[in-house]
């Protein structure tokens, strides 16, 4: 059973702090990794993707991938109350018929 | 304006009725997906389609049916055989990059 695991939270951080969201996956052959943000009552929105080991930065967001440890994380710098949402991790393996394997999400609350 | 549209936004179904949820995309994506999300839960795959006139069951296909007659359209029918259909239904599409893009969703309630 291929799995993606996330801490459900809630993760609570003060405004301006760094929020660190973590995701582990079981399928060692996974190739692509995605972070989605989902506000309450809304659909998921893609915010980052990463394919190679290391860091990938986009504005206040940094995705980090360590394939040896089967671990992907999302860092949000200078967290804002508008970042309060559920963050979903998704993993892709080409042998899985173009399906994504989804984590259950981590709820983030940024406190003013 | 490229994107994915779903209609209706809210849908109410009486027990024993079939209802059809619409999903249309103008992104020229080959693959389309239907997910169900229950309160506080993750995304569960219902059906997906990689090309026109072909589709596969996901993890929870029982009580649902789909068609893919056009590249742009992937409607989902919730049949009376689905005993607990109240949920948030999400349609997504993807191209070769495999990242999925979502429509705004349809919230289905059984009366």
Closest CA to A29 of A93, A101, A111: A93
Please report the pLDDT score of residue B97 as a whole number.
Answer: 67
Is the model's pLDDT at B35 over the cut of 80? yes
Mean pLDDT of chain B: 94
| Inter-chain CB proximity B104 and A43 less than 8 Å | yes
Please list the residues that pair with A36 across neighbouring strands: A46, A88
| Inter-chain CB proximity B102 and A102 less than 8 Å | no
CA distance A111 to B75: 40
Mean pLDDT per segment of 10 residues, for chain A of length 112 residues? 88 97 95 96 96 96 97 98 97 85 96 95
Q: How many helices and strands, by DSSP H and E, does chain A display? A: 0, 11
Is the model's pLDDT at B78 over the cut of 90? yes
| Inter-chain CB proximity A97 and B48 less than 8 Å | yes
Residue A7's Cα: distance from chain center in Å?
11
Chain A residue with the nearest C-alpha to that of B87:
A41
Please report the pLDDT score of residue B16 as a whole number.
Answer: 87
Under an 8 Å CB criterion, which residues of A touch B? 32, 34, 42-46, 49, 88, 90, 92, 97-100, 102-105
Angstrom distances, CA of residue B82 to CA of A91, B26, B79, B85, B105:
28, 30, 6, 6, 19
The average pLDDT across B57-64 equals: 96
Paired sense of beta strands B43-51 and B54-57, if any: antiparallel
Please report the pLDDT score of residue B48 as a whole number.
Answer: 96
Please report the pLDDT score of residue A95 as a whole number.
Answer: 81
Please report the pLDDT score of residue A110 as a whole number.
Answer: 98
């Amino acid at each position: 059973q291929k799995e993606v695991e996330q801490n459900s939270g809630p993760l609570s951080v003060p405004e301006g702090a760094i929020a660190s969201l973590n995701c582990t996956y079981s399928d060692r052959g996974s190739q692509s990794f995605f972070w989605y943000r989902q506000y309450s009552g809304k659909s998921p929105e893609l915010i980052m993707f990463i394919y190679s080991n290391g860091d990938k930065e986009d504005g206040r967001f940094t995705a980090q991938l360590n394939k040896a440890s089967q671990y992907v994380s999302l860092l949000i710098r200078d967290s804002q109350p508008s970042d309060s949402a559920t963050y979903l991790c998704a993993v892709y393996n080409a042998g899985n018929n173009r399906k994504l394997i989804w984590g259950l999400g981590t709820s983030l609350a940024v406190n003013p | 304006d490229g994107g994915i549209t779903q209609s209706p936004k809210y849908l109410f179904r009486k027990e024993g009725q079939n209802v059809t949820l619409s999903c249309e995309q103008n992104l020229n994506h080959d693959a389309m997906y239907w997910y169900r999300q229950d309160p506080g839960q993750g995304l569960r795959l219902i059906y997906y389609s990689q090309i026109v006139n072909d589709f596969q069951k996901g993890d929870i296909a029982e009580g649902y049916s789909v068609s893919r007659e056009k590249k742009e359209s992937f409607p989902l029918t919730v049949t009376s055989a689905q005993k607990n259909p109240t949920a948030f239904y999400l349609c997504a599409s993807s191209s070769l990059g495999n990242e999925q893009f979502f429509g705004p969703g349809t919230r289905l309630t059984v009366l």
